[in-house]
């Protein structure tokens, strides 16, 4: 009976405890390779991304006409949701913001909320 070799990805924490993992010649796992491939298709920190964002925001404003809100934002109090809530107002959106307190909030998150 052969023993499986234990290996950890050189880029993330994934290892051979995942039966579907494979590694390239550099030791990077297939999950990282796939994430990078997808990121290259969707992450646009340039004029293309700005144009795409502006179209999306305009579509949200248009869909929200004659309604109380343009969008729904779940606010955890963390950096991402706090930033998105701030930016949504800057973009002229009217968000309905909600928070569910599951008892795990940090003091900083509660201040942000």
Kindly report, residue by residue over 24-72, the tens digit of the pLDDT: 999 999 999 999 999 988 899 999 999 999 999 999 999 999 999 999 9
Instruction: Tell whether 97 is covered by a domain.
Output: yes
Q: What's the CA angle centered on 67, arms 61 and 73, to 5 degrees? A: 65
Instruction: Tell whether 69 is covered by a domain.
Output: yes
Is the predicted pLDDT of residue 2 greater than 60, yes or no?
Answer: no
Instruction: Tell whether 2 is covered by a domain.
Output: no
Instruction: Tell whether 88 is covered by a domain.
Output: yes
Instruction: Tell whether 95 is covered by a domain.
Output: yes
Number of domains in the chain: 1
Each residue's pLDDT tens digit, 62-102: 999 999 999 999 998 889 999 999 999 999 999 999 998 88
Domain assignment of residue 70, given as a range: 65-112
Instruction: Tell whether 23 is covered by a domain.
Output: no
Instruction: Tell whether 101 is covered by a domain.
Output: yes
């Amino acid at each position: 009976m052969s023993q499986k070799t234990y290996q950890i990805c050189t880029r993330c924490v994934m290892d051979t405890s995942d039966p579907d993992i494979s590694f390239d010649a550099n030791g990077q796992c297939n999950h990282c390779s796939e994430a990078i491939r997808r990121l290259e298709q969707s992450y646009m920190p340039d004029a293309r991304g700005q144009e795409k964002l502006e179209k999306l925001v305009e579509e949200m404003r248009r869909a929200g006409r004659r309604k109380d809100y343009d969008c729904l934002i779940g606010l955890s109090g963390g950096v991402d949701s706090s930033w998105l809530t701030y930016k949504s107002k800057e973009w002229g959106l009217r968000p309905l913001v909600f928070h569910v307190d599951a008892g795990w909030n940090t003091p900083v998150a509660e201040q942000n909320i």
